[in-house]
């Protein structure tokens, strides 16, 4: 069976799990990323015994019709760590939207796009840990209500840094001092084992120990639980929104504002309000679709776009993008100049000449 996902998502599956690969090459089952496919998802899983991460993405399979008698997992192969740099480089060279077909063929795992392919040597009989069973066990953990002291587990902060690639936002659940930490994100599950023994110098083994150590300092202020106690700088009216939530709000506000003003506007402003409203609505729909398909990519695009908008040179960004896409922006602007020339006042004509000079210089640079 083969499955197809886009290059960006394949790269993200690897990125979300690669931090959890064991560096002990004496255990091949843990020294790589497990790729598994069923009739709905392509999964990637990795573990080093201390942390376990599993990510999934809904694939597009040409042969996804299976009866109940068939295996739940049509294929499962472990990508060895040594092969991952070449695979990452191959994926990054492809446009993110390019479909990649993943096909197991004997002792190879073949990755194919319209422009090429890469074959990774794998052991089709290599075993991997039962990551499904391990994660199910962590999810089904019950709170440790029999303990005489509140739950206060210890976790290695060096291992916690591995979750930064899991998702933009993840949820954590702790049920006991010696039970695994559950990590959950969008199409992502993970677990981290607690420290079984604290350092000899660690005296803060209970919450009471922490309270006793810090009581003399913290008692100088009353307890504050509201976020209002933390100052939040107000965003400038001219500053571009840098998060998906802020951008979504701004686009919807602009759509409503423009369409409302369009009704009462005169003929000259009607077109401007109409274009602004339509553009804002289209941008909202595109962003909403991108966020649904890939929240991580949507957040990255919004942040990058905010930087470009705040930079102020969006005309140059647009010119470069048009050239890169194979268009002729100089022809576009020449047509616009010709259409507007009869309407320009003398003062506008002088400003327009300066704009033409900029266009000419830009064209010569390209």
Q: Give the three-state DSSP class for 8.
A: helix
The Cα 127–Cα 25 span in angstroms is 14
The Cα 27–Cα 20 span in angstroms is 14
> Is the per-residue pLDDT at 137 higher than 80?
yes
Beta bridge partners of 119: 110
Residue 17 belongs to domain spanning: 3-131
> Is the per-residue pLDDT at 163 higher than 60?
yes
Residue 85 lies inside a defined structural domain of this protein: yes
**The pTM is what?**
0.71
Among the three residues 83, 112, 131, which one is the final residue of a domain in this structure?
131
> Is the per-residue pLDDT at 164 higher than 70?
yes
Residue 179 lies inside a defined structural domain of this protein: no
Least confident of 13-22, 131-140, 267-276, 303-312: 267-276
The Cα 53–Cα 32 span in angstroms is 12
Q: Give the three-state DSSP class for 329.
A: helix
Contact status, residue 89 vs residue 103, Cβ threshold 8 Å: no
Q: What angle do CA 250, 251, 254 make, to 5 degrees?
A: 85
If one counts the domains in the chain, the total is 2
What is the structure's pLDDT at 184? 96
Q: Cα 188 to chain center, whole Å?
A: 12
CA dihedral 249, 254, 260, 265 (to 10 degrees): 170
The Cα 276–Cα 255 span in angstroms is 7
Among the three residues 111, 131, 151, which one is the final residue of a domain in this structure?
131
The Cα 64–Cα 200 span in angstroms is 55
Least confident of 7-11, 59-63, 92-96, 313-317: 59-63
Alpha helices in the chain (DSSP H): 7-17, 84-92, 131-139, 157-160, 207-218, 244-264, 267-293, 295-311, 314-324, 329-340, 346-365
Residue 233 lies inside a defined structural domain of this protein: no
Residue 316 lies inside a defined structural domain of this protein: yes
What CATH number corresponds to the domain at position 56? 3.10.150.10
Q: Cα 185 to chain center, whole Å?
A: 11
Sign of CA dihedral 9, 24, 128, 119: positive
The Cα 166–Cα 295 span in angstroms is 12
Confidence of residue 168 (pLDDT cuts 50, 70, 90): confident
List the structure tokens of 233: 């700088």
Look at the block and give the residue holding tokens 């930064």: 164
Question: What number is the average pLDDT over the span 187-199?
Answer: 82
Contact status, residue 87 vs residue 33, Cβ threshold 8 Å: no
Beta bridge partners of 117: 112
Residue 356 lies inside a defined structural domain of this protein: yes
Q: What angle do CA 231, 235, 237 make, to 5 degrees?
A: 150
Helices (H) and strands (E) in the chain, counts: 11, 11
Residue 193 lies inside a defined structural domain of this protein: no
> In terms of pLDDT, which residue wins out, 154 or 72?
154
What is the structure's pLDDT at 16? 95
Residue 232 lies inside a defined structural domain of this protein: no
Among the three residues 131, 149, 181, which one is the final residue of a domain in this structure?
131
What is the structure's pLDDT at 135? 96
Query: How many Å from the N-terminal Cα to the C-terminal Cα in the chain?
Result: 47
Enumerate long-range contacts of 208-213, CB under 8 Å, 24 or more apart.
208/149
The Cα 168–Cα 78 span in angstroms is 27
């Amino acid at each position: 069976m083969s499955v197809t996902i886009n290059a960006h998502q394949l790269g993200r599956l690897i990125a979300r799990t690669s931090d959890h690969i064991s560096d002990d090459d004496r255990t091949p089952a843990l020294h790589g990323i497990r790729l598994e496919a069923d009739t709905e998802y392509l999964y990637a899983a990795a573990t080093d015994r201390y942390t376990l991460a599993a990510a999934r993405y809904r694939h597009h399979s040409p042969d996804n019709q299976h009866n109940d008698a068939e295996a739940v997992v049509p294929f499962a192969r472990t990508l060895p760590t040594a092969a991952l740099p070449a695979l990452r480089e191959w994926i990054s060279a492809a446009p993110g939207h390019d479909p990649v077909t993943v096909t197991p063929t004997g002792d190879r795992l073949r990755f194919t796009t319209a422009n090429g392919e890469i074959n990774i040597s794998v052991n089709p009989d290599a075993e991997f840990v039962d990551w499904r069973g391990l994660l199910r066990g962590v999810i089904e953990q019950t709170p440790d209500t029999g303990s005489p002291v509140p739950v206060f587990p210890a976790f290695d902060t060096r291992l916690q840094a591995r979750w930064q690639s899991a998702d933009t936002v993840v949820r954590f659940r702790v049920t006991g001092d010696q039970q695994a930490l559950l990590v959950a994100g969008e199409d992502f599950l993970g677990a981290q084992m607690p420290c079984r023994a604290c350092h000899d110098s660690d005296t803060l083994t209970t919450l009471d120990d922490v309270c006793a150590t810090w009581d003399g300092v913290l008692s100088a202020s009353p307890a504050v639980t509201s976020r209002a106690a933390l100052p939040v700088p107000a965003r400038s009216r001219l500053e571009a929104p840098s998060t998906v939530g802020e951008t979504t709000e701004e686009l919807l506000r602009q759509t409503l504002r423009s369409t409302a003003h369009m009704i009462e506007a005169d003929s000259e402003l009607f077109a401007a309000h109409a274009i602004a409203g339509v553009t804002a609505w289209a941008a909202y729909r595109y962003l909403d679709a991108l966020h649904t398909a890939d929240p991580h990519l949507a957040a990255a695009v919004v942040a990058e776009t905010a930087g470009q908008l705040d930079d102020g040179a969006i005309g140059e960004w647009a010119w470069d993008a048009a050239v890169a896409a194979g268009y002729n922006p100089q022809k576009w602007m020449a047509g616009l100049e010709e259409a507007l020339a009869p309407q320009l006042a003398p003062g506008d004509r002088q400003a327009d000449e300066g704009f033409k000079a900029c266009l000419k210089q830009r064209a010569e640079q390209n």
